[in-house]
Amino acid sequence: MLFGDIQELAGGECAMLHITLVRPPNLVSYFASTRVLTPPLGLAYIASSLKRAGHSVTIVDAVGEAPHKVMRLFNGKMLVTGLSIPEILQRIP
């Protein structure tokens, strides 16, 4: 649904929505020398704009909520840092 569609549904006025923004788990090669853990600033900026427009916002930061949880995938060649998909889904209201 696009922003114009939302306005049309509300009769020309923007409907207030609850929006969930998700930062997915970090996927890197097992052979990478570092794992970058940075705050999700882009999501914070988007959330701020949405809140200023009157929407309620939830952010699920899969990496920030479980930075020490590391799983191996693809025969151990890749590392996934953060919450699993089921854990992310549990946090979405």
In this predicted structure, what is the pLDDT of residue 55? 93
In this predicted structure, what is the pLDDT of residue 32? 80
**Which tens digits make up the pLDDT trace of 25-63?**
998 888 886 766 788 999 999 999 999 999 999 999 999
DSSP tag of 26: E
Is residue 16 classed exposed, middle or buried when 0-12, 13-18 and 19+ CB atoms within 10 A define those classes? exposed
* Mean model confidence pLDDT for the chain: 85
In this predicted structure, what is the pLDDT of residue 2? 46
Contact (Cβ atoms closer than 8 angstroms) between residue 88 and residue 60: yes
CA distance linking residue 13 with residue 25, whole number of Å: 36
Buried b (16+ CB within 10 A) or exposed e, 70-85: eeeeeeeeebbbbbee
